[in-house]
């Protein structure tokens, strides 16, 4: 398969997956028992008014008309109006998406840096104590459910020691202070960092074990290779040798980085809820509990699209780094 | 190790026919070897302890899950710190935390065992079929697995459970019907290697039927991996089920540890009433750690080495 053909095929496949995700969501949400108008009726609304509402919002049109409208709207970035907050979904979600992003991107990156470093140290000396038992606390951290870690952090550092706030993004004072400033200004305050410290720690704890484990195994493998032996007999200082090993051993870890990123966007829900962090995970749970279908549908689509597009980007980048992938197909 | 215990060896003699089956023999020997390692012994004992609690917990608990404890003056004991009468204190509405801990072991054990069983059943069915049969069947099954890989587990579970009923069992089913993907993928790649070996060719040449080859020759060779994935499946089901209970999308009247943490958190007193949130959190975490470590040491002993790949795929 030629390189160009691989990229074209992969692009078409990605567009198809995005369409499939949107369509599956449409089917899923249309087959849900009951919709928003049922809640209006339940709340004692006039049946005639509800009928007018259904007519207004096109809920009485045939399904294929609704589907066509849904897909075309989604394609131009119109995800409807939140039934709960009466604002366009995009506007409601936009800031929350950024809040989630600013929590996981640095969190996962830091977890990968720290984990690789730890794995490197643990894997350097086979049979040493740190190699044998050093990995156990990391597995312990990884097996702690994220909400348990988060609650423990709150109990210890927020309630007992009082060093950090229990949740939220910024205090009301800061919000007032920067009410007229551009939207990004409030993220450049010490107050924001102070609030972000505990959620950030929770994310790092949750995702630390994967890079540590992989790096440790990878270091074992690299150490058995000829060039490391060569480095040793030429008398290369230990620090330089470490650098060589790290460079070669980090490949599998780099491969996993995007995987963790895509998983984190879904797994973030719990951490956001515990810390009352206004991200998309919290928006999803709030939307589900309030039966706010447009918000839930769009957040879900965003998460799916993020996973699909991240996989696409990874494949394209690997195709450039390692041309064998593009030529051999899978 | 097991044979050194008189009663157990007599029991196994009694079942000598069944006990001589290769699967049981393998399992018994492996278990015996594993229990020789002290750390594995600790993990195994903890798992047995949780299972026992799941069996008898509700009977030995001093109070019911919904008994509201009153003091001598008839007042509800709200948020009472640990004491001799109530070893883990009481909750904000006057439940005895210790009793709820004992009772909460059952939902946890059920979710782990049920989830792990479904995961490994679907996973090995799909993985072994795809690997052994090959061709178009393999293509269809593996595309299906890829599709499931694209499903974000927790958001999907939240939406499905919230809209189609908030039952306890439903939550486990949703989790298990997504998490089989890892075991299917890894088992398939194992089967691909095994089916090229000579003894499979020999069985084929003697006219052994495909189901028999799979049951007799393929499955025993991937069984180690399957046990490992069962253990990890148990752990992940427990984590995620507890997480969903914590979010409040699962039936809050099943008194699981996850629901306890939710109630403690929702009371807004999570820092003051630490005896309410920390014990169930630790129990969930230790149960999950034990299953992971148990699976790892099982694999190491049966010669698989530390396979970090399985940990990656299973999540």
Q: What is the pLDDT of residues A46-73, one digit of tens each?
A: 777 777 777 776 677 777 888 888 888 8
When scoring B104, B160, B163 by the number of chain A Cβ atoms within 10 A, the one with the most, hence best to mutate, is B163
The topology under which CATH files domain B7-314 is MetI-like fold (1.10.3720)
pLDDT tens track, chain B, 315 positions: 445 555 555 555 555 555 566 667 777 777 777 777 777 788 888 888 888 888 887 777 777 766 666 666 666 666 666 666 666 667 767 677 788 888 888 888 889 999 999 999 999 999 888 888 888 888 888 888 888 887 888 888 888 887 777 778 888 888 898 888 888 888 888 888 888 888 888 888 898 888 888 888 888 888 878 888 888 889 889 988 888 888 888 877 888 888 888 888 877 777 777 777 888 888 888 898 888 888 877 777 765 555 555 555 555
Q: Would you place residue A146 in the very low, low, confident or very high pLDDT band (cuts 50, 70, 90)?
A: confident
Provide the pLDDT for residue B118.
Answer: 94
Tokens of B171: 């939550």
Residues of chain B contacting A217 with CB distance shorter than 8 Å: 306, 308
**Straight-line distance from the first to the last Cα atom of chain B, in angstroms, rounded to the nearest whole number:** 33
B277 in contact with A, Cβ within 8 Å: yes
Searching chain B, which residue's CA lies closest to the CA of residue A167?
Answer: B268
A320 in contact with B, Cβ within 8 Å: no
Measure Cα distances from A141 to A146, A203, B264 in Å. 9, 11, 22
Residue B172: name the closest of B211, B230, B117 by CA: B117
CB–CB of A300 and B289 under 8 A? no
CB–CB of A151 and B265 under 8 A? yes
When scoring B149, B150, B151, B159 by the number of chain A Cβ atoms within 10 A, the one with the most, hence best to mutate, is B159
Provide the pLDDT for residue B115.
Answer: 92
B175 in contact with A, Cβ within 8 Å: no
A296 in contact with B, Cβ within 8 Å: yes
Provide the pLDDT for residue B308.
Answer: 57
Mean pLDDT of A36-45: 66
3-class DSSP assignment, residue B76: strand
Tokens of A284: 């999803």
Tokens of B304: 């698989």
Compute the mean pLDDT over every residue in chain A, rounded to the nearest whole number: 79
Q: How many residues does chain A have?
A: 330
B11 in contact with A, Cβ within 8 Å: no
A155 in contact with B, Cβ within 8 Å: yes
Provide the pLDDT for residue B70.
Answer: 64
Tokens of A305: 């699209």
Burial class (CB in 10 A: 0-12, 13-18, 19+), B283: buried
Provide the pLDDT for residue B117.
Answer: 93
CB–CB of B285 and A151 under 8 A? no
Q: Would you place residue A329 in the very low, low, confident or very high pLDDT band (cuts 50, 70, 90)?
A: very low
8 Å CB contact between A131 and A252: no
Please state whether the predicted TM-score (pTM) of the whole model is above 0.90.
no
What domains can be seen in chain A, in order of their start residue?
A: 96-169+196-292 (1.10.3720.10)
Residues of chain A contacting B282 with CB distance shorter than 8 Å: 148
Q: How far is A142 from A260, CA to CA, in rounded Å?
A: 13
CB–CB of B285 and A32 under 8 A? no
B271 in contact with A, Cβ within 8 Å: yes
When scoring B271, B276, B310 by the number of chain A Cβ atoms within 10 A, the one with the most, hence best to mutate, is B271
8 Å CB contact between B262 and A270: no
**Dihedral of CA A118/B153/A195/A163: which sign?**
negative
Searching chain B, which residue's CA lies closest to the CA of residue A216?
Answer: B308
Among all chains, which residue has been given the structure tokens 């119109």?
A: A78
CB–CB of A308 and B150 under 8 A? yes
B261 in contact with A, Cβ within 8 Å: yes
Residue A307: name the closest of A279, A270, A266, A267 by CA: A266
CB–CB of A143 and B311 under 8 A? no
* Residue B273: its H or E element: none
8 Å CB contact between B251 and B167: yes
Q: What is the tens place of the pLDDT at every residue in A240-283?
A: 878 888 887 777 788 788 878 888 877 788 888 888 888 888 88
CB–CB of B239 and A273 under 8 A? no
- Kindly list the domain boundaries of chain B, sorted by start residue: 7-314
Q: Answer yes or no: is pLDDT of A236 > 50.
A: yes
Question: What's the alpha-carbon Rg for chain B, to the nearest Å?
Answer: 23
Q: Would you place residue A84 in the very low, low, confident or very high pLDDT band (cuts 50, 70, 90)?
A: confident
Q: How far is A216 from A133, CA to CA, in rounded Å?
A: 12
As for the ipTM of the complex, it is 0.79
Q: How far is A154 from A199, CA to CA, in rounded Å?
A: 9
Q: How far is A131 from A142, CA to CA, in rounded Å?
A: 17
**CA angle B176–B25–B296, rounded 5-degree value:** 45
Q: Answer yes or no: is pLDDT of A152 > 70.
A: yes
* Residue B230: its H or E element: helix B219-247
Distance from the B73 Cα atom to the nearest Cα atom in chain A, whole angstroms: 31
Q: How many residues does chain B have?
A: 315
Q: How far is B88 from B101, CA to CA, in rounded Å?
A: 9
**pLDDT over 90 percentage in chain A:** 2
Searching chain B, which residue's CA lies closest to the CA of residue A161?
Answer: B271
Distance from the A158 Cα atom to the nearest Cα atom in chain B, whole angstroms: 8
Provide the pLDDT for residue A42.
Answer: 66
B311 in contact with A, Cβ within 8 Å: yes
């Amino acid at each position: 398969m030629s390189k160009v053909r691989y990229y074209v095929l992969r692009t078409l496949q990605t567009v198809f997956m995005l369409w499939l995700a949107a369509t599956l969501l449409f089917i899923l949400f249309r087959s849900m028992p009951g919709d928003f108008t049922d809640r209006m009726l339940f709340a004692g609304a006039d049946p005639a008014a509800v009928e007018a509402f259904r007519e207004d919002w096109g809920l009485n049109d045939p399904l294929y008309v609704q589907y066509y409208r849904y897909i075309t709207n989604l394609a131009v970035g119109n995800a409807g109006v939140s039934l709960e907050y009466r604002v366009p979904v995009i506007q409601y979600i936009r800031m929350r998406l950024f809040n989630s992003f600013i929590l996981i991107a640095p969190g996962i990156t830091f977890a990968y840096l720290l984990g690789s470093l730890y794995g490197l140290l643990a894997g350097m000396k086979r049979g040493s104590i740190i190699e044998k038992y050093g990995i156990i606390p990391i597995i312990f951290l990884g097996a702690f459910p994220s909400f348990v870690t988060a609650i423990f952090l709150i109990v210890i550092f927020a309630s007992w020691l009082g060093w950090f706030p229990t949740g939220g993004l910024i205090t009301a004072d800061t919000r007032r202070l920067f009410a007229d400033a551009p939207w990004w200004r409030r993220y450049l305050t010490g107050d924001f960092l102070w609030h972000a410290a505990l959620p950030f720690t929770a994310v790092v704890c949750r995702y630390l074990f994967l890079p540590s484990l992989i790096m440790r195994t990878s270091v074992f493998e690299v150490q058995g290779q000829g060039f490391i032996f060569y480095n040793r007999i030429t008398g290369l200082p230990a620090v330089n040798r470490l650098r060589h090993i790290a460079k070669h051993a980090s490949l599998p870890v780099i491969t996993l980085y995007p995987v963790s990123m895509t998983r984190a966007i879904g797994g973030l829900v719990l951490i956001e809820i515990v810390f009352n962090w206004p991200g998309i995970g919290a928006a999803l749970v709030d939307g589900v509990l309030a039966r706010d279908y447009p918000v839930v549908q769009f957040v879900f689509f965003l998460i799916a699209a993020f996973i699909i597009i991240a996989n696409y980007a990874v494949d394209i980048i690997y195709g450039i780094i390692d041309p064998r992938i593009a030529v051999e197909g899978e | 190790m097991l044979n050194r215990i008189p009663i157990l060896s007599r029991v196994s003699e009694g079942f000598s026919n069944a006990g001589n089956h290769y699967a049981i023999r393998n399992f018994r020997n492996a278990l015996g070897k594993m229990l020789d390692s002290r750390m594995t012994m600790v993990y195994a004992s903890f798992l047995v302890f949780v299972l026992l609690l799941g069996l008898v917990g509700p009977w030995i608990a001093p109070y019911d899950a919904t008994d509201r404890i009153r003091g001598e003056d008839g007042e509800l004991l709200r948020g009472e710190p640990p004491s001799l009468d109530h070893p883990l204190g009481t909750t904000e509405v006057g439940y005895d935390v210790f009793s709820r801990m004992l009772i909460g072991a059952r939902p946890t054990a059920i979710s782990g065992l049920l989830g792990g069983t479904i995961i490994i059943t679907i996973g090995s069915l799909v993985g072994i079929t795809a690997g052994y049969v090959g061709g178009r069947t393999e293509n269809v099954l593996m595309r299906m697995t890829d599709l499931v890989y694209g499903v974000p587990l927790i958001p999907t579970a939240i939406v499905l459970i919230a809209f189609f009923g908030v039952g306890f069992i439903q939550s486990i089913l949703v989790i298990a019907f997504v998490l089989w993907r890892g075991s299917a993928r890894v088992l398939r790649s194992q089967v691909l290697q095994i089916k090229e070996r000579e003894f499979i060719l020999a069985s084929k040449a003697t006219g052994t039927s495909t189901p028999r080859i799979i049951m007799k020759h393929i499955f025993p060779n991937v069984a180690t991996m399957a046990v490992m994935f069962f253990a990890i499946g148990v752990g992940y089901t427990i984590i995620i089920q507890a997480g969903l209970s914590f979010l409040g999308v699962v039936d809050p009247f099943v008194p699981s540890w996850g629901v306890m943490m939710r109630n403690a958190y929702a009371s807004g007193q999570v820092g003051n009433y630490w005896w309410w949130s920390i014990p169930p959190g630790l129990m969930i975490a230790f149960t999950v750690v034990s299953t992971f470590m148990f699976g790892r040491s099982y694999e190491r002993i049966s010669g698989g080495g530390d396979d970090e790949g399985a940990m990656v795929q299973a999540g």
